[in-house]
């Protein structure tokens, strides 16, 4: 009789265990389908909100991964596996992975912030992470810059985020500066009038803010005139080089003595690659 009751009890426990395992598998299967649907719904909602596609894909996968992790814990708990040790093991594993991938996680975190706050976009010419170049691609781990000499620089997002970012294109216009050396005997007023005429003749030089020319300084052998003007970002380099040539030709034709020196014209700043940004 005792043996019969024992076998019956074992049989009941086995049936209960099998039922719980079946329910756990059912929870897992249905839960995976629901998790995928929920992640896809969240992705479509972010797309309707015009969230960046890179960030949308990342958050969709993150949501799906979190839901699957919770689902596995629920399924194991239903199957009779104690959840407390499992959660502790997952926490310890997550901590170990976090410590091992500290640099990568830092890049990932900064990648999310760069995508959310958008200090620059693809096509902008920037100084980021100590490197100047045109932004070719922005991912969650790194930013790809094409430098003025057509080299590619893969810059970790953590390096970009921890340093100042200068965006040369964000406002749509750029100011450039040229310096001209003329002789002491030359007519400064006439030189300024000629420069203003050249400003007016170039349609790329904006009228607002207005360009200007001033006396910058006096050296032992020359009077330094400084020219400042605004152009659209893409016109900056071309306008500078054309104005530089026009200054040389026009002032020379008018009899001005371009004072000798290590640099009669100084261009500040400008990058050839900006012609295409």
- For range 145-170, the mean pLDDT: 88
Mean pLDDT, all residues of the chain: 77
Cα of first residue to Cα of last residue in the chain, in angstroms, is 90
Tokens representing 249 are: 């030709």
Same domain, 240 and 267: yes
Q: How far is CA 47 from CA 3, 43, 54, 97, 117, in A?
A: 65, 6, 11, 31, 17
If asked whether residues 182 and 262 sit together in one domain, one would say yes
* Token pair for 64: 């799906």
* CATH number of the domain enclosing 59: 1.10.287.1260
The answer to the question of residue 105 being in a domain is: no
Task: Determine the 3-state secondary structure of 221 from DSSP.
Answer: coil
Residue range of the domain that includes 158: 119-167
pLDDT for 72 beyond 90: no
Structural domain contains residue 243: yes
- In this structure, is residue 80 part of a structural domain? yes
* Residue 177 located in a structural domain: yes
147 and 191 co-located in one domain: no
**Which of residues 151, 167, 183 is at a domain's end?**
167
Q: Does residue 109 lie within any of the structural domains?
A: no
How far is it, in rounded angstroms, from Cα 106 to Cα 24? 37
What pLDDT was estimated at residue 186?
A: 87
In terms of domains, do 35 and 85 share one?
A: yes
Q: How does pLDDT run across 162-183, given as a tens digit for each residue?
A: 888 888 888 888 888 988 888 8
* 224-238 pLDDT tens trace: 999 999 999 888 888
The pLDDT assigned to 4 comes to 44
Domain assignment present for 254:
yes
Chain-centroid distance of CA 42 in Å reads 24
Total count of domains within the chain: 3
DSSP three-state, residue 265: strand
Give the residue from 246, 250, 243 showing the smallest Cα distance to 191: 250
Per-range mean pLDDT, top range of 30-34, 95-99, 185-189:
185-189
Asked if pLDDT for residue 99 goes beyond 90, the answer is no
Residue 107 resides in a domain: no
């Amino acid at each position: 009789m005792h043996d019969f009751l024992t076998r019956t009890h074992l049989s009941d426990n086995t049936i209960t265990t099998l039922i719980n395992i079946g329910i756990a598998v059912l929870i897992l299967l249905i839960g995976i389908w629901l998790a995928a649907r929920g992640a896809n719904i969240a992705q479509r909602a972010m797309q309707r909100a015009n969230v960046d596609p890179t960030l949308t894909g990342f958050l969709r996968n993150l949501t799906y991964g979190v839901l699957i992790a919770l689902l596995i814990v629920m399924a194991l708990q239903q199957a009779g596996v104690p959840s407390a040790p499992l959660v502790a093991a997952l926490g310890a594993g997550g901590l170990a992975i976090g410590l091992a991938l500290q640099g990568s996680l830092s890049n990932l975190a900064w990648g999310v912030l760069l995508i959310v706050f958008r200090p620059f976009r693809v096509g902008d010419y920037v100084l980021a992470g100590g490197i100047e170049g045109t932004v070719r691609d922005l991912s969650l781990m790194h930013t790809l810059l094409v430098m003025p000499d057509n080299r590619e620089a893969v810059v970790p997002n953590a390096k970009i985020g921890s340093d100042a970012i200068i965006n040369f294109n964000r406002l749509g216009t750029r100011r450039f500066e040229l310096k001209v050396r003329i002789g002491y005997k030359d007519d400064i007023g006439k030189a300024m009038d000629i420069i203003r005429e050249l400003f007016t003749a170039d349609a790329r030089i904006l009228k607002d803010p207005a360009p200007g020319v001033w006396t910058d300084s006096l050296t032992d052998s020359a009077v330094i005139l400084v020219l400042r003007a605004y152009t659209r970002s893409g016109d900056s380099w071309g306008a500078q080089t054309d104005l530089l040539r026009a200054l040389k030709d026009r002032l020379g034709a008018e009899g001005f003595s371009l004072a000798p020196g290590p640099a009669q014209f100084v261009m500040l700043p400008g990058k050839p690659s900006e012609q295409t940004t």
